[in-house]
Amino acid sequence: MWFKNLRLYRLNAALDDSQLEERLSEKAFQPCGKLDPLKYGWVPPLGRKATLLSHTANGATLFCAKRQEKQIPAAALKEALENKLFEIQEEEGRPVGRKERQAIKDELIFTMLPQALPRSSTEVGYVHHADRMVLVNVSAAKKAEEFLSLLRESLGSLKAIPMSTHNPIAPVLTEWLRNGSAPTPFTLGEQCELRASKDERVIRFRKQDLSADEVRQHLDTGMHVRQLELNWRDTLSFVLDDEMAIKSMKFGDELLEKAGEADTDSAADAFDNEFTIMSAELSAFVKDLLEAFGGESELA
């Protein structure tokens, strides 16, 4: 249940959750057929034994999307294409042009796709109604947008845009690293990625004291922070990048123990308890994060 990554979106209008289950069911997940390269749809957040395609607790509604893809191994496709081109050249004594080559490749994909094994993954996110936020547990912007697109298609409308801060992320992170400290309630972690603006050189530090002179020396040459590990209130450690993507999240042992000690009668109750605790912590975390960067951008 505990999120590992975060992409943050601001809702500009309240979520219309009337007939929610009926709407979600129209986009429920269906497995790939023989010729389907990709299928994407909703599954129950509480697992296979559950029936509901959404789950609401403590003012937040959770959704889970399942992705199933068929991928033909690149090496196998390349070999099949080369064999076909060789046959044409040997039998007909002519070169194969670009358009014909692409047509042959498409035909091979069509032929090989039914034998390709599907691979599945799930993506989870939730809408926090009072905070007017959508939080998606993915690191890549593309996957977050696909999740929101599916939700938008299901509901008919969803006015959500990526959150942005008043002060740009990279210069602020660079200044924190230069000073060797972050503003309360944040502290520096032990890893960062620096990038040079001119030649795009990249230097990474891991498990190192980021207040060391060696780190500052690179900043003095004009490098800036691309990613920085931070800690929040001794409750959460994470890596923040200059696009406001939050990665490698780890919740503190004390919080996890608190969730584990709850007296619950079923797996569903335990799930509710964890989700309630996590969503409350993340609401407070996002508020502090926005304040650390001068508040949320007015464009949001």
Task: Indicate whether 146 and 281 sit together in one domain.
Answer: no
Summary mean pLDDT of the chain: 93
Q: How many CB atoms lie within 10 A of CB 291?
A: 14
Task: Give the pLDDT confidence score for residue 300 in this predicted structure.
Answer: 47
CA distance 73 to 272: 40
**Which segments of the chain does DSSP mark as H helices, in order?**
20-25, 74-92, 98-112, 141-155, 169-179, 213-220, 253-260, 267-292
For the ranges 165-169, 267-271, 278-282, the lowest mean pLDDT is seen at: 267-271
Task: Indicate whether 59 and 148 sit together in one domain.
Answer: yes
Taking alpha carbons only, the member of 2, 5, 50, 44 closest to residue 24 is 44
pLDDT tier for residue 21 given thresholds of 50, 70 and 90: very high
Task: Give the pLDDT confidence score for residue 198 in this predicted structure.
Answer: 77
**Each residue of 59-104: pLDDT tens digit?**
999 999 999 999 888 899 899 899 989 888 888 888 889 999 999 9
**Each residue of 111-162: pLDDT tens digit?**
888 888 899 999 999 999 999 999 999 999 999 999 999 999 999 989 999 9
List all residues 6 or more positions away from 247 whose beta carbon is below 8 Å from its beta carbon: 4, 5, 139, 227, 238, 239, 240, 241
Structure tokens at 16: 């219309």
Residue 16 lies in a domain: yes
CB 124 within 8 Å of CB 63:
yes
Task: Give the pLDDT confidence score for residue 44 in this predicted structure.
Answer: 97
Is residue 240 predicted with pLDDT exceeding 90?
yes
Is residue 54 predicted with pLDDT exceeding 90?
yes
CA distance 65 to 132: 21
Into how many domains does the chain fold?
A: 3
Residue 1 lies in a domain: no
CA distance 104 to 98: 10
List all residues 6 or more positions away from 47 whose beta carbon is below 8 Å from its beta carbon: none
Task: Give the pLDDT confidence score for residue 16 in this predicted structure.
Answer: 80
Is residue 27 predicted with pLDDT exceeding 80?
yes
Task: Indicate whether 21 and 143 sit together in one domain.
Answer: yes
Q: How many CB atoms lie within 10 A of CB 254?
A: 10
Domain residues for 174?
Answer: 169-292
Task: Indicate whether 14 and 90 sit together in one domain.
Answer: no
Structure tokens at 209: 């004291």
Q: How many CB atoms lie within 10 A of CB 221?
A: 11
Task: Give the pLDDT confidence score for residue 299 in this predicted structure.
Answer: 56
Stronger pLDDT, 264 or 55, i.e. the higher one = 55
Provide the residue type at 280 as one letter. A
CA distance 243 to 264: 39
CB 79 within 8 Å of CB 41:
no
Is residue 221 predicted with pLDDT exceeding 80?
yes
Residue 254 lies in a domain: yes
Taking alpha carbons only, the member of 293, 232, 1, 8 closest to residue 128 is 8
Task: Indicate whether 108 and 255 sit together in one domain.
Answer: no
Could you tell me the pTM of the whole model? 0.87
